[in-house]
Chains A and B, each alone.
Chain A
Amino acid sequence: EPEVTQTPSHQVTQMGQEVILRCVPISNHLYFYWYRQILGQKVEFLVSFYNNEISEKSEIFDDQFSVERPDGSNFTLKIRSTKLEDSAMYFCASTYAGAYYEQYFGPGTRLTVT
């Protein structure tokens, strides 16, 4: 069964550094998402992406964040200058039109900012 994949599974970075989190959505899916979950807290929406542009973004998704689909398979989240409070699990999700937009999540990348 097709799955969303994410790399790396764990990323450790120093405050102020740039990180890129990578995702490969399910191949026939058209909508892509990033969420984050700070330890012990709820899953929070960051951004949705369709047809090579951002569809919707939350208040969390400020200028330090960007997303890109650099090729036909990858979907990336870049955090330009990481802060301690960016430490969280970051989940990528995808869906296709006609499935009532049921979103399927990848395994996540644990980002630790030191």
Chain B
Amino acid sequence: QKEVEQNSGPLSVPEGAIASLNCTYSDRGSQSFFWYRQYSGKSPELIMSIYSNGDKEDGRFTAQLNKASQYVSLLIRDSQPSDSATYLCAAAYSGGGADGLTFGKGTHLIIQP
């Protein structure tokens, strides 16, 4: 059974600080990982993807992957009130197009002005 685990939060972070979101996955064979942002009542919006161990940066966002520890994280620098949302971690097993994504329940992030 493939599982992705996230702390549901809420995680409260002051504006301008770094928000750190974490995720673990159960299937060691998982190949690729994704972070989505979901505002209340809206669809998931892709923020970052990561496939290799280490860090991947895109603007204010940094994704980190540690396959040995089966751990994925997302850092958001200079947090803005508009970053307040639920952040979903997802894993794909084979990394191919047929894969359905396995999602975690999401972490609710609140950025305090």
Interface residues, chain A, CB within 8 Å of chain B? Answer: 30-31, 33, 35, 41-48, 50, 55-56, 58, 89, 91, 95, 97, 100-108
Q: For the complex, what is the distance from the CA of A103 to the CA of B36, rounded to whole Å?
A: 10
Q: For the complex, what is the distance from the CA of A50 to the CA of B99, rounded to whole Å?
A: 11
Check B99 against A101 for contact (C-beta < 8 Å): yes
Task: For residue A57, give the distance in angstroms from its CB to the closest CB of chain B.
Answer: 8
Residue of B nearest to A107 (CB): B43
Which of B36, B46, B100 lies at the interface centre, i.e. has the most chain A CB atoms within 10 A of its CB? B100
| Stretch among B20-28, B70-78, B88-96 lining the A interface | B88-96
Contacts of B61 in A (CB 8 A): none
Task: For residue A77, give the distance in angstroms from its CB to the closest CB of chain B.
Answer: 14
Check A58 against B43 for contact (C-beta < 8 Å): no
10 shortest interchain CB distances as A-B pairs: A45-B100, A55-B98, A31-B97, A43-B103, A105-B43, A42-B105, A56-B98, A108-B43, A101-B97, A105-B44
Interface residues, chain B, CB within 8 Å of chain A? Answer: 32, 34, 36, 42-46, 49, 51, 88, 90, 92, 95-106
Task: For residue A91, give the distance in angstroms from its CB to the closest CB of chain B.
Answer: 5
Check B42 against A101 for contact (C-beta < 8 Å): no
Contacts of B98 in A (CB 8 A): 31, 48, 50, 55-56
Beyond contacts A41-B105, A42-B104, A45-B102: 5 other A-B pairs, Cβ-Cβ < 8 A, are: A45-B100, A89-B43, A91-B43, A101-B97, A107-B43
